[in-house]
Amino acid sequence: MLSGGRNRRAVVSAILLVWGAAWSTRASPEGRGPSPFALVLGTAQDGGLPQVGGNAGPDRAARQDPKLKRLVASLLVVDPGSEERFLIDATPDIREQVEIADRVAPQPGALRRPPLFSAIALTHAHIGHYTGLMQFGREAYGANSQRVLASDRMARFLETNGPWDLLVKLKHIQIERFVADQPVRLNARLTITPVAVPHRDEYSDTYGFIVSGPSRKLLWLPDIDKWEKWDRRIEEVIASVDIAYLDGSFFDTGEVPGRAMAEIPHPFVAESLTRFAALPAKERAKIVFMHLNHTNPAATPDSAAQRAIEKAGMRVAREGERQPL
């Protein structure tokens, strides 16, 4: 790796070590050890940055300066009091994201090939959200009954299609089915509630998750077709949580040369800014855009697009940022 990449990772490691020291001593509101928190492991759309074959400005910049590289969108949820950690989505960047998780929340014990997470919750069957499971098979880590939370349709896809069915047959992963809007208890202090959203559901249906801790709630919603296609108002969902990480895949129409945007529908950030403009400032401050495509100018620090988001009272997610729960 280039020296710039080493410097970037060194800085991230130093920040994570400081955070680790902070949460190890911070008491929770319930008095049962340090407070749970969530950590953003990645902010990019499924292809990451730089994207394979990508020739957009951000791709070229990231190849020149590895500090601008971005990992695929994923969220780590940690309960330091119980020494448990949970993951939302197993991305193509899971190897590097497991190393980050190990620095932030190392797992105790010396079991043979223990599960790397207390549970992994999957949003849907697009490549940026489940293909990291391949690293749990016998060709790589060879996990022992890694708990995976999935919808019935997602579970059936994994159970009946290779190579994923081999993970199930060899008990590298153990699938537990969830039901929309029914909370799943992760442990005594954390629950996760799946919310179904409209999306391109070729192989599975699609979900966002509301993560609830002792004192705060977080929405993680990386993919949806359009806000107006949902059977609920996004504004009401935002009002029900303390922080809302939302689909920010594309900034505006015409962003992907040679591709029909109707084939890859998402709420454009420009549309979201207009829609959310009427919200009170405290509600707009909850909104954080993530899952940004390699073409999205808002992913570039201090770009005009990023400044427009901030002027509107919202912001773009940063890899490594932490939210208390």
- What's phi and psi for 202, nearest 5 deg? -65, -45
Closest to 265 (Cα-Cα) out of 322, 231, 227: 227
Task: Answer for the pair 262, 12: CB distance below 8 angstroms, yes or no.
Answer: no
User: How many Cα atoms within 13 Å fall on the side-chain side of residue 318?
Assistant: 12
Contacts for 288 with CB less than 8 Å, ≥ 6 apart: 243, 244, 245, 246, 314, 315, 316, 317
State both tokens at 319: 């890899």
Q: Report how far residue 65's alpha carbon sits from residue 191's, in angstroms, rounded to the nearest whole number.
A: 39
10 Å Cβ neighbour count for 259?
11
Which of these ranges, 16-25, 134-143, 174-183, 305-314, has the smallest mean pLDDT?
16-25
Task: Answer for the pair 314, 287: CB distance below 8 angstroms, yes or no.
Answer: yes
Task: Answer for the pair 232, 263: CB distance below 8 angstroms, yes or no.
Answer: no
pLDDT at residue 226 is higher than 70: yes
Tell me the pTM.
0.87
Name residue 77's beta-bridge partners.
38, 86
Closest to 138 (Cα-Cα) out of 171, 111, 101: 171
| DSSP-derived pairing of the beta strands 217-221 and 243-247 | parallel
Give strand ranges (E) for 142-298.
146-150, 173-177, 184-185, 191-197, 206-212, 217-221, 243-247, 287-290
Task: Answer for the pair 174, 148: CB distance below 8 angstroms, yes or no.
Answer: yes
Which of these ranges, 62-71, 76-85, 133-142, 307-316, has the smallest mean pLDDT?
62-71
Quick: pLDDT tens for 165-220. Answer: 999 999 999 999 999 999 999 999 999 999 999 998 899 999 999 999 999 999 99
- What's phi and psi for 76, nearest 5 deg? -100, 130
Which helix H or strand E contains 16, and what residues bound it? helix 3-25
Closest to 49 (Cα-Cα) out of 249, 269, 257, 321: 249
The pLDDT value recorded for residue 109 is 62
Domains of the chain (ranges, CATH numbers): 3-324 (3.60.15.10)
Which strand ranges, in their side-by-side order, compose the sheet holding 184-185? 184-185, 191-197, 206-212, 217-221, 243-247, 287-290, 315-316
Quick: pLDDT tens for 233-282. Answer: 999 999 999 999 999 999 987 776 656 656 667 899 999 999 999 999 99
pLDDT grade for 56, boundaries at 50, 70 and 90: confident
- Cα 119 to its chain centre, rounded Å, is 14
Q: Report how far residue 181's alpha carbon sits from residue 192's, in angstroms, rounded to the nearest whole number.
A: 9
